[in-house]
Amino acid sequence: MPPFTVVIPAYKPGPALLRSMLSLAAQDFAGDLHVVVAVNDGSAETWLVADALAHTIRSARRRCEVVHTSPGRPAALAGAEGLLPEGPRLYLDQDAELSTGAVTQLAARLVPETGYHFAALHLRPPESDSWCTRAYYRAWCEIPYVRQSPATIGAYAVSALGRKRWGQFPNLHSDDKFVRTRFRPVERTLVETESYSVLPPEGLRELVSARQRYNRGNREVPRRDGFDVSRKAGLARTIVRHPRSWPGFGVLVAVNLIAAAAEHPDRGFRYG
């Protein structure tokens, strides 16, 4: 069985990188796990921090390498992949914290017999001191498009065969969406039994800024006919069936409207 490989781009991570590294060290995966951290901020300090954290993974009898790359996420992804063998691959943001069985379940979902080539984990609504942030992500997690697509904000995996669908990563903000749209909906799967969490934008202002960045990333990746899921299908029914999430959907709509108005006053808003 090929190893399960993990790529973590690291850019001025501070304490955030500790989250992903500790969660990888704690995985219950019985196979061969090979992790590469790609430091792309030109900082010797970041490399030293990442290398120190790599010992946490190595102490769990996993392979972990740290490499310097040119600045930018595409360069980090390319530099990390140059050190990895073929196999199912997880692309992980430096602040993404995995549940203990995440790698095991992703690997099981991406074996050839399943027909799946893109897999995501259930997003745990992040902890936050901001009510707006908590409400926003509770609602976001309920959107049918997010579950059916499945959309991601920090962790996604592809099969060994799926990775052959493209060559080098293009220079895009949203590599997750670019990768997701390489696969038809029937080739994607959401692992509901395992999860991940990220460090969220705190408060309304940061949520709007994050939404604007997300919108810019969406515009860089054109939709592919037959390769995406309707953003609106089932949304009204979901809102009606989840009254506890109504305040969150209000925040979600407000964030989208404010972000859209700031960027394109003559256009409506998009979600997901």
For residue 132, the model assigns a pLDDT of 93
**Does the CA dihedral 169-216-176-54 come out positive or negative?**
positive
Q: Which residue has the higher pLDDT, 118 or 238?
A: 118
**Average pLDDT rounded to a whole number, residues 112-135:** 93
- Residue 16's nearest CA partner among 150, 1, 41 is 41
Kindly state the average pLDDT of the residues 189-210.
93
Q: What is the pTM of this model?
A: 0.89
Q: Are strands 155-158 and 89-92 parallel, antiparallel or unpaired?
A: antiparallel
* Highest mean pLDDT pick, 38-47, 85-94, 120-129, 170-179: 85-94
Region 30-57 average pLDDT: 92
| 179 Cβ contact list (under 8 Å, min separation 6) | 91, 118, 156, 158, 166
| Residue-level pLDDT at 272 | 46
Between 46 and 239, residue with greater pLDDT: 46
Mean pLDDT confidence for 187-200: 94
Instruction: Check pLDDT > 60 for residue 6.
Output: yes
**pLDDT at position 11 over 70:** yes
CB 39 within 8 A of CB 141: no
Q: Which two tokens stand for residue 188?
A: 């994607």
Give residue 241's pLDDT.
Answer: 80
pLDDT band at 269 (very low <50, low <70, confident <90, very high): very low
Task: Report the pLDDT value the prediction gives residue 271, as an integer from 0 to 100.
Answer: 42
Question: What tens digit of pLDDT does each residue of 216-266 get?
Answer: 877 887 777 677 777 777 777 877 787 777 888 899 889 989 988 887 655
Share of the chain above pLDDT 70, in %: 96
Q: What percent of the chain has pLDDT over 90?
A: 64
pLDDT at 264: 61
Range name among 6-10, 59-63, 73-77, 224-228 with the lowest pLDDT average: 224-228
Token representation of residue 110: 């991406």
DSSP letters, the chain, are -PPEEEEEEESS-TTHHHHHHHHHHT----S-EEEEEEE-S--HHHHHHHHHHHHHHHHTT-EEEEEE--SSHHHHHHHHHTT--SS-EEEE-TT-EE-TTHHHHHHHHTSGGG---EEEEEEPPPP-S-HHHHHHHHHHHH-HHHHHTT--SSEEEE-TTGGGG-SSPPS-S-HHHHHHTTS-GGGEEEEEEEEEE-PPP-HHHHHHHHHHHHHHHHHHS---TTSS--SSTTHHHHHHH-GGGHHHHHHHHHHHHHHHHHH-TTS-----
